[in-house]
Amino acid sequence: MGSEEDFRFAEVFSYESLVHAVAGATGSVTAMTVFFPLDTARLRLQVDENRKASSTPAILAEIIKEEGLLAPFRGWFPVICSLCCSNFVYFYCFHSLKATWLKGQRSTTGRDLIIGIAAGVVNVLVTTPLWVVNTRLKLQGAKFRNTDIHPTHYTGILDALVQIMQREGVSALWNGTFPSLLLVLNPAVQFMIYEGLKRQLRRGVPRELSSLEVFLIGAVAKAIATTATYPLQTVQSVLRFSQCRQQGDRSWLLGSLKSVVYLLSSRIRKHGIMGLFKGLEAKLLQTILTAALMFLLYEKIAAGTFHIMGVKRATVSR
């Protein structure tokens, strides 16, 4: 029993898991920085209901014209901080859980999905406050078409955390947790498809995938996961921005099932079923390119680090 527990402890706090976490965080931060304006366009369309949906370049042109050249990069620092922490936690949990569960055996699609969901739940519970803050900061100073949206005035990440806790309560930092927990299916499905495609490409001939192959399977995996879960992503953004409370209903708990159902039905009543997919073009463009570049950088950084340190990568699921 003791040796088994020692094995699990060693796998959870292993050098390999740390390398995967650092590589994933570095790759995601770099990729998000490159395609950050696309995320700005997506978020505006999700939160500002009265802004007309148009092409991504047109939305970005409007934002630059109304708010200045650097407006598409507003909120870059808090987003990057949140993304770095979030991906570090996710990649670390994903590879630690995989190593602990599989113990050197080959993985399967079902196992990848379960491990991805478990890693996602841990990630959501730990990092949601950072995402609530970065959503507020990213939209601060924006010119909204919807006059019901109230502007915020934060000087930075810490100030936003303090103000939210003082004015809205500590629980407000976990606004949108319910849809976020449902959305663990997004990275879980993404990793399941990504790992599955890797196994298919390596079937019979263990080898390192080319940069183009990694880029393409990363893009395919993210495109499928994003399209399937996009309506929940819209609800998540609105809840994090905290602009969905019904007047006079102070008992209405943000992030609850009631909140999700209300927002989804409200969007459908106002804009039809396609209202649930407002901003999808910008999201797909941003998230596919970002995920593809992130996986490419992640694989290269991890492989390079293991090579430099002279450590043989585990062959679990490879």
What is the C-alpha to C-alpha distance for residues 178 and 315, in angstroms, rounded to an integer?
35
> pLDDT at position 88, please?
92
Question: What values do phi and psi take at 77, rounded to 5?
Answer: -65, -50
> What is the per-residue DSSP string for 56-94?
HHHHHHHHHHHH-TTGGGTTHHHHHHHHHHHHHHHHHHH
pTM over 0.75: no
The pLDDT of residue 100 is 82
Residue 241 in 3-state DSSP? helix
Domain 2-243+252-309 has CATH 1.10.1740.10: no
198 neighbors 205 (Cβ within 8 angstroms): no
pLDDT reported for residue 311: 54
Residues in Cβ contact with 198 at an 8 Å cutoff, skipping those fewer than 6 apart: 209, 217, 317, 318
Q: How far apart are CA 211 and CA 188, in angstroms?
A: 22
Q: Which pLDDT value is given to residue 50?
A: 72
Q: Which residues contact 282 (CB under 8 A, 6 or more apart)?
A: 38, 39, 41, 42, 45, 56, 59
167 CA to centre of own chain: 27
Q: At what angle do helices 36-47 and 56-67 cross, to 10 degrees?
A: 90
Which pLDDT score is estimated for 256?
64
Residues of the chain whose pLDDT is less than 50? 1, 6-7, 9, 244-255, 314-318
What is the pLDDT, as a whole number, of residue 10?
52
Residue 245, pLDDT score: 46
> For position 104, what pLDDT does the model report?
67
What residue segments make up the domains of the chain, in order of their start?
2-243+252-309
Q: Which two tokens stand for residue 66?
A: 């109304």
Q: How confident is the model at residue 254, as a pLDDT? A: 44
pLDDT value at position 252? 37
Round to whole Å and give the CA distance between 261 and 274: 16
